Amino acid sequence: MSVHIGAQPGDIAERVLLPGDPMRAKWIAETFLKDPVCYTQVRGMLGFTGTWQGVRVSVQGSGMGMPSASIYSHELINEYGVKSLIRIGSCGALLDDLNLGDVIAAIGSATDSNMNRARFDGLVDYAPVADFSLLRTAADVADRREIALRVGPVLAADAFYTDRPDLFDTLADYGVLAVEMESAAIYTTAARFRAKALTILTVSDHIKRGEKMDSAQREQGFSDMVQIGLDTIIA
Ligand SMILES: O=P(O)(O)O[C@H]1O[C@H](CO)[C@@H](O)[C@H]1O
Ligand SMILES: O=c1cc[nH]c(=O)[nH]1
């Protein structure tokens, strides 16, 4: 058992989906995995292992924000031997041509977090990026499933409630698709410890238009994202 995950060695698969919400982890495990077993309830951050098309896959809640996501990705890789992580998250769209329910793969992750500035003494603006093989597989899977997948950069923000919404317009000018709160930390941790990571997101809110998903849209949109994530992680 690690500090934040109550699993024994071998309980967690080498391939892990990482939703922020532990209840989404439960829903994914119960809806998609065969024979899911809950291996941790520490802090209510649920984790499950089952199989998808005969391959062992785990689904682990990672919480909200980069400190939390860093803890779970660090322990999964370093204490449980996890090799591939795919974040399965919700996001707020910044571009006009994105709509609720659209699915995004984050090729890179700009961030206002200070974590990487501290790592590099403020001397380098490290660029957290997706693993290319996972990204290419996700694009192929989405094509095969006839799900439109928008690939581009996102912002991993420290604050959900921001005092600087004007920065979203500037980021949109630079082609940043959406805002969420974990991808930069997961990409950085995976790079540091030689694991593969990808972030797939469903647009749950439109920042400029003030739109929000209702529960039915959320479920259908999240199903598309989860199926891309599962097919990608077992490839
Ligand atoms: O839906 P999840 O995966 O939690 O992701 C998004 O939702 C949370 C904010 O509501 C943040 O964690 C953000 O990144
Ligand atoms: O971080 C997030 C996630 C969903 N929606 C947002 O507006 N922000």
Q: Map out the domains of the chain as residue ranges.
A: 15-233
Distance 89 CA to ligand 1 centre (A): 6
Question: Which ligand sits closest to the CA of 159?
Answer: 2
| Closest C-alpha residue for ligand 1 atom 6 | 90
Distance 179 CA to ligand 2 centre (A): 6
> Residue type at 16?
V
The architecture (CATH level 2) of 15-233 comes to 3-Layer(aba) Sandwich (3.40)
pTM over 0.90: yes
Split at pLDDT 50, 70, 90, the class of 214 is confident
Q: Using an 8 Å Cβ cutoff, are 188 and 95 in contact? A: no
Residue 124: pLDDT over 70: yes
Q: What is the ipTM of this complex?
A: 0.98
63 ligand 1 Cβ < 6 A: no
Residue 97 is a catalytic residue: no
Average the pLDDT over 108-136 and give the result.
96
Percent of the chain whose predicted confidence (pLDDT) is above 90: 97
Distance 157 CA to ligand 2 centre (A): 9
Residue 218: pLDDT over 70: no
> Distance between CA atoms of 191 and 149, rounded to whole angstroms?
24
> Distance between CA atoms of 50 and 53, rounded to whole angstroms?
10
Give per-residue pLDDT as tens, 10-62.
999 999 999 999 999 999 999 999 999 999 999 999 999 999 999 999 999 99
What is the β-pairing status of strands 103-111 and 196-206?
A: antiparallel
| Closest C-alpha residue for ligand 1 atom 8 | 64
The predicted structure's pLDDT at residue 221: 62
Average the pLDDT over 125-134 and give the result.
97
112 Cβ contact list (under 8 Å, min separation 6)? 155, 157, 158, 159
> Distance between CA atoms of 57 and 14, rounded to whole angstroms?
7
> Distance between CA atoms of 11 and 19, rounded to whole angstroms?
18
